[in-house]
Chains A and B, each alone.
Chain A
Amino acid sequence: MNMTLGRRVLLATAAPAMALFVALLVSSAVLIASGSNPLEAFSEMVKNGVKLEVIIDTLNRATPLFLSGIAAAIGFKMNLFNIGVEGQYQLAAFAAAVVGANVVLPGVLHVGLIILVAMVVGALWSGLAGVLKTERGVNEVIGTIMLNYVVTNGIIAALYTHVIDKGNANNAGTPANDESGWLPDLNGVVELFTREIQKGRKLTGMLAIAIVVGIFYHLLVNRSRIGFDLRASGINPVAARAGGVPPKRMVIMSMLIGGVIAGLVGLPEIVGNNHSYDQGFVKGLGFLGIGVALLGRNKPLGIALSALLFAFLDSSAGVLQFSGTASKEIVVIMQATILFAAVIAYEVVNRIRLREEVKSASLTTGATA
C-alpha cells in the first residue's frame, strides 16, 4: 500500500469531521425551522461548557457513557452485537444497591464488594446471552433485546417492592448505603490544578476506574492473545477457526468481559450520587453507549472522545432551556444526527480507501483496474 501517511490521517479524520459538520448543519436547520437562532444557541453552549462546574458535569456524564461504550465495543470487535448493555447495567446496579444496603463491612471492603457484585451480575446476565447463542443458536441481538426486557419488566419489577426502603416514604427506592459504601470523589485532585469547585458538584470517583478500564481495554484488544483472537474472529471467523480459535469460547469470553464492564456503568449512582437504586435511576445509557462505541470506532481514545462529546451535549442541554435560546431536546437530535452522519461517513471513507487500494495495487502489478 503506497498511500501516504498524510492521506491516511486525512481519511481517518475526514469522517468524524464530516459527521460533526452535517450534525451542526441539520440541527441548525431544525433550530431555524422552530424559530431559534442556531448561532446564539451554539455560542451559549460553548460559553457555558467551559465553566468548571459544567466540565465536572460533563465528566460525570461521560464516565458511564465511556464504560458503556467500552462494554459494547468488546463485542463489536468480533462482530458480536451486544445490545444488552442496557439490561446488564440496570440489573447489576440494582443487585449492587441491594447488596450494598444490606451488608455491613469496613470502608474499602464495602465499596469493593459493591463493585464486585455489579461486575459479577453484569457478567452473568451477559454470559447468559452468550450461552444462548453458542448452545441454542439464539441470535445475540434478539437475545439481548429480550433479556433487556426481562430485566426491566420482569426481575426488577418483581423484586422492587420487596427491597424498597419502607421506613422512608419520600424515597421509593432501595435503602441508601452506609458511608463505608461510598466511593470518594475526585474533587481534591481537580482542585489541585484549578480553583475550588462550587455548587456542590462532585467529580465521581468512577472516573478513575473508567480510565483503568480504558487502559485495560487497550491492552486486552491490542496487546494480548485474547484480543488478537477476538479481532481475528471478527475480521474472518472461518480463518480464525481454522487457525485454532474456538468460536464458541470467544463468544462467551467477549460476552463475559463486556458484561463485567457493563456492570460498572450504573455504579456512579450507587457508590456516588444517590447511594441507592430508585425510580429515577438513570436509563438509556446502554443504547447511548452503542452510539458512543460506533462513533469512536471501537478504539479506546475514540470512545473517550465521543463519550465526552455526547456528555458535553447533554450537560449543555440545561443552559439552552434556561437561557431560552432553544429547546433542550435539540441535543438529542444532535447526538443522533452525529451518529447517523458518522456511520455513513465511515462507510463512504471506507469505500474511498478500498478504491484507492485497488488502484494502487493495479498500478504496482501493472494490471488495468
Chain B
Amino acid sequence: MTAATAVTVPVAPTPQSGWASRPEWQKWMAYAAAGTLVLAIVGQFTGTSMLTSSTLTSTAIKWSIPILLAGLGGLFSERCGVVNIGLEGMMIMGTWCGAFGAYHWGPWAGLVVGALGGAVGGLLHAVATVQFGVDHIISGVAINILAPGLARYMSESIFVNYDGGSATQSPHVDGLGDFTVPVLAGGKIFGWRSPDLLGNIEDRHWFLLSDIAGIVRGPFSQMRIFTLLALLCIPLTTYIFFRTRVGLRLRIAGERPAAGDSLGVDIYRYKYLGVLVSGALAGLAGAFIVMELTGLYQQNQTAARGFIALAALIFGNWRARGVFASSILFAYPLALSLQDLKGTSVRALLLVIAIALAAVVVWSYRRPNLADAIIAGVMSIGCVIWFATSETAPAWLPNTMPTSSCFWCWCSLPNGFAHRPQLASPTDEAIARAA
C-alpha cells in the first residue's frame, strides 16, 4: 500500500468569516444575551418580573438537574455505541435506592447508593446488549417494565415497615444541603449577614439591569451542593471524552469498534464501562429527585424524565454542554408553571415563543426554506393572537414545551434528525495513539 492511499488527505477548512468562525463560547454568550434580552423585553411589556426572577432561575436550575444527569448518562452510553432507552427505569432504581441509602446512612450515602442502584440497571442493560447482542431498544424497554415493579415490590417489603413509609413512598430523607454566596446574593459569613448586591439590583425593577441581576443571582442563592456536583459533571464529561485515553477509547468503542479491536482495545470492556457509568448517572438523577426535589421516594415520581433526558441528549447534539443547555430550556417552563400558579406569567411565555418562532421565520427564509418560514410564521402569529385573547395560559402548555420545541427543531433541520449522531469520529492517528 502506498503512502498516498494509506493517508487520507485532510481537507483544508474553508475560510469562513463572521458568525460561523467565532469561537463557541462567544456564540453561547450571544445566545444567552439574546435570550435575556427577549425575556426582559417581554417581562417589561407584560408587566411581570417573574420571567427573570432569581427564584425562578434557581428553581429552573434545580429542576433541570435530573434531566441533565440522565442526559449525561445517555451521552456516556450512546458515545460508546449503546442506545439507552432504559434511562427511565435506571432513574427509578436510583430514586428507590437513593431514598434507602439516604434514610439509613445519610445524604452522602444516598448519593452513592442511588448511583449504585442505577448502575445495576446499567449492568443489566450491558449484559443483555453487549454480551448477548440483544437489541438495545428491546433491552431498554424491558428495563423500563422491570424497574417500577421492582421498586414497588421493594417498597412493599421494606418501606412499609418504616415509620412514615408505605407501599408507594418512603419516609422523609434529607438532602445534601445548600449555601448562598455572600456579598453577591446575601449569604452569611460566620453568622454575619452580608449585603445582597444582586438582590438589591433585582428589587429595583430597572429594565434589563434588574433582569440580568435576577438571572445571575439565581445560581448563587440557595445553591444545592448536589446541584453544584451535577454541574461539575458537565466539564468533567467533556474532559473525559476529549482529553483522556479512557474517553477516546469509549468513543472508539462506539464509532470505530473494528479499528479499535484490531489495535488491541478491549471493545467489550469499554462498552460495559460506558453503559455502567450511564446507569450510575441516571441513578444519580433519581437520587437527586428524591433528596433535593421531593424529600422522599414516591411511586412514579420520575414522571418520564428519562425520556425527556433522551430528547435533551439529542437536542444537545450528543455534547455535554448541549445537554445542559437543553435541560435548562426544558426545565424553565416547568419551573415557571410551578412558581406561577395563576398562569399569568406562563401567558407571557407565549410571547417569548412567538419571538422565537419569528427568529425561525427569518432563519428559514434566508436558508432558503419557504415552507418552514410560512409554517413558523403562522404559528408565531397564532401565539400572538392567543396571547392577546387570553388572560391566563393553561397548565398543560409548559408541560408540552420540551417535546414540541424538540419536534419543531427536528422538523426544520435540513437533514432532519438522523439516528446516528453527527459525531466527530476519532481519527486513525488518534486510534493508533490510544492503542
Contact = CB atoms under 8 A, between A and B. Distances in A.
Contact of A146 (B146, B157, B403, B415): B403
A83 B416 contact: no
Contacts of A148: 307
Question: Which of B403, B404, B413, B418 has the most chain A CB atoms inside 10 A of its CB?
Answer: B403
B129 to A, nearest CB: 10
B141 A83 contact: yes
A340 B396 contact: no
B400 A136 contact: no
B153 interface: yes
Contacts of B396: 153-154, 157-158
Contacts of B13: none
Given A154-B400, A294-B138, A139 B417 contact: yes
B399 A153 contact: yes
A287 B153 contact: no
A337 B146 contact: yes
In this complex, which of B135, B143, B153, B314 has the most chain A Cβ atoms within 10 angstroms of its Cβ?
Answer: B153
Interface size class, chain A: 35 or more
A149 B410 contact: no
Contact of B311 (A146, A294, A343, A344): A146
Interface string B306-328: 01101100100000000000000
A160 to B, nearest CB: 9
Interface in A28-61: 30, 34-35
Contacts of A347: 132-134
Contacts of B404: 150, 154
The residue in A30, A132, A158, A343 that gathers the most chain B C-beta atoms within 10 A of its C-beta is: A343
What is the predominant secondary structure among interface residues of chain B facing chain A? helix
A336 B417 contact: no
Interface string B409-435: 011010111110000000000000000
Contacts, number: 132
Contacts of A139: 417-419
A332 interface: yes
Nearest to A30: B153
B139 interface: yes
B88 to A, nearest CB: 10
A287 B144 contact: yes
A291 interface: yes
Contacts of A257: none
Contacts of A343: 128, 134-135, 138-139, 142
Nearest to A330: B153
Nearest to B419: A139
B228 to A, nearest CB: 30
27 contacts: A30-B153, A34-B157, A83-B137, A136-B413, A139-B417, A142-B310, A145-B85, A145-B310, A146-B407, A148-B307, A150-B404, A154-B399, A154-B403, A157-B396, A158-B396, A287-B144, A291-B141, A291-B145, A329-B153, A332-B148, A332-B149, A337-B146, A339-B146, A340-B128, A343-B138, A343-B142, A351-B133
